[in-house]
Amino acid sequence: MLISSWKNRIMTACMGLLLLVSLLTLIHWGVKAITLKIPRLYNYSIIKMALAGTPPEKDGKNPDKNIHIDWASRYPFDDSVKVPVEKIRYFPRPPKDTPAKRLGDWTEKNLYSYYSLAELQRSYDKTIHWNIINPVYNVVSLRDGYWAFVYKKQDMKERINSVISFKKFLQSLGIPLTYIQAPGKINKYGKQDAWLRGRYDFSNANADQLLSGLQQNDIDTLDLREYFHETIPENQYHQLFFRTDHHWLPQTALTAASFIANHLRQKYGIEINSSNLDARHYNIENLPRYFLGSAGKKVTLSQTKTEDFPILHPVFPTNMHLNIPDKGINKDGPFEITYDKNEIDHIDYYKRNPHSAYGYGDRPLVTIKNLQFAGHSNQKILVIKDSFGDTLVPLLSLGCKNIAAVDIRHFDGSLRTLIKEFHPDVVLILYTNNQEGLNITPFESHPIRG
């Protein structure tokens, strides 16, 4: 009877706590909804409480607001060369608006002290040594303070066929293609991450299958995993990346840009200024304890710590023209105009993403012209990229005259029309080990979407 009585008390206390949290959430949501309609001149203290964590407005504008671009109108699809539907394998876009996702988003925005509760839950997991790889987060500790995502086994055949088809199109225009495999955080080589490979993580195996299929079809490839394996000691490999994020450091992207530039110069005769890609010609501004990366956000500050965020500044003269249509940007200036300073103007570990400061993040289309190279030949590079290109493309632009970057996860116009208009001297495809972008939109000409 005594045990049963304690169980009832505990259950009652838990229900009371749940009701209290729910009530606070409704109050917070209601006050926020009401106060947003009241001029800030009145009841300022209440509004400040209701909008806790909301970035301040600047000049009455929302710096995060994007401009809607009808890419299919700017770069229309050519129905006259449409490939029959049954011969095209389209990779469906994963659902992003499921009821569970909407509930999760609403809870994150409106649940009072959401991140504090999340930290409490992750702290509890740590306390009881709950060392499983949660399938919701797919985040794993690499045992040296670094965190990484793990990826399941995938069949790369359809992605291989997609790139082969794309190569044939480029060949018809006389444009060469190089596929560049960016490194993932889990080391392909040595003993460092052997406990993960082929058991919990298959990202390197997926990349190996993809590269093998491309090479068998005479597609030029660069495997940056091999390059860093040959130039970096195994125990320093993780240091190529952010500790709490899956992306490589900007310094690593600069090293990769220099290696890629040498390949472009030797194989295709692209005019590259290698000196501008030398790490010795940059100053690094470290924003102290400014960054909590994608993996860090999953495990929260209860299990990891924030890290410094580096901003690279060339010490040589720069003069760039930057065009980002969906941000309304079309301007000249020094290299620093390629940074989105709105992402680094204040700290918000869970809601801001400083990594998006580089190249303004995952934009559908970015073009950069290096005005310092006025006397150079008008050579052009087109990069089809995932988020690893956010840092690499602006840095690579410092060594060449014209570069454009397309993120086909967000660009829904005709890639072929864009290529015909831009007519690059070479096309690069840059993806990391999860090949996320390659399973959304094929390199075909007609806008049939999953």
Same-domain status, 40 and 145: no
- What is the span of the domain harbouring residue 29? 2-52
Same-domain status, 154 and 31: no
Same-domain status, 46 and 129: no
Q: Give tens-digit pLDDT for 17-69.
A: 666 656 665 565 555 455 444 443 334 344 344 444 444 444 434 455 789 99
Query: What does the pLDDT read at residue 90?
Result: 37
Question: Do 71 and 416 meet the contact criterion of CB atoms below 8 Å apart?
Answer: no
The mean pLDDT value for 359-386 works out to 94
Same-domain status, 158 and 276: yes
Query: What does the pLDDT read at residue 55?
Result: 41
Q: Give tens-digit pLDDT for 238-281.
A: 999 999 999 999 999 999 999 999 999 999 999 999 999 999 99
Question: Do 419 and 175 meet the contact criterion of CB atoms below 8 Å apart?
Answer: yes
Within a domain: residue 111? Answer: no
Which residue matches tokens 């729910």?
22
Within a domain: residue 108? Answer: no
Same-domain status, 139 and 26: no
**Where among 35, 52, 69 does a domain terminate?**
52
Q: Give tens-digit pLDDT for 188-221.
A: 999 999 999 999 999 999 999 999 999 999 999 9
Within a domain: residue 146? Answer: yes
Query: What does the pLDDT read at residue 41?
Result: 38
Q: Tell me which residue of 275, 381, 400, 393 sits closest to 339, measured CA to CA.
A: 393
Query: What does the pLDDT read at residue 421?
Result: 96
Burial letters 221-243, b for 16+ CB under 10 A, else e? bbbbbebbbeebeeeebbebbbb
DSSP 142: -
Query: What does the pLDDT read at residue 250?
Result: 98
pLDDT band at 336; cut points 50, 70, 90: very high
Considering Cα of 347, then 348, then 350, then 353, what sign does the dihedral take? Answer: negative
Within a domain: residue 284? Answer: yes
Within a domain: residue 77? Answer: no
Query: What does the pLDDT read at residue 387?
Result: 95
pLDDT over 80 at 173, yes or no? yes
Q: Tell me which residue of 260, 156, 163, 157 sits closest to 219, measured CA to CA.
A: 163
Q: Give tens-digit pLDDT for 274-326.
A: 999 999 999 999 999 999 999 999 988 888 999 999 999 999 999 999 999 99
pLDDT over 90 at 397, yes or no? yes
Tell me the percentage of the chain whose pLDDT exceeds 90: 63
Query: What does the pLDDT read at residue 376?
Result: 83
Within a domain: residue 260? Answer: yes
Q: Please tell me which residue, 98 or 206, carries the higher pLDDT value.
A: 206
Residue 209, both tokens: 């299958």
Same-domain status, 146 and 47: no
pLDDT over 90 at 102, yes or no? no
pLDDT over 80 at 344, yes or no? yes
pLDDT over 80 at 329, yes or no? yes
Query: What does the pLDDT read at residue 325?
Result: 97
* DSSP secondary structure of 335-382: GGGGB-GGGGSS--TTT--GGGGBTTSS-SEEEEEEGGGTTS---EEE
Q: Please tell me which residue, 94 or 261, carries the higher pLDDT value.
A: 261
Domain tally, the chain: 2
Same-domain status, 38 and 172: no
Within a domain: residue 276? Answer: yes
Same-domain status, 321 and 421: yes
pLDDT band at 432; cut points 50, 70, 90: very high
Within a domain: residue 216? Answer: yes
pLDDT over 60 at 437, yes or no? no
Same-domain status, 25 and 129: no
Instruction: Quote the mean pLDDT of the chain.
Output: 82
* Distance in angstroms (rounded) separating the CA atoms of residues 243 and 308: 10
Considering Cα of 212, then 214, then 217, then 223, what sign does the dihedral take? Answer: negative
Query: What does the pLDDT read at residue 335?
Result: 98
Query: What does the pLDDT read at residue 100?
Result: 52
Same-domain status, 45 and 129: no
Same-domain status, 415 and 274: yes
Q: Residue 49 CB: number of other CB atoms within 10 A? A: 13
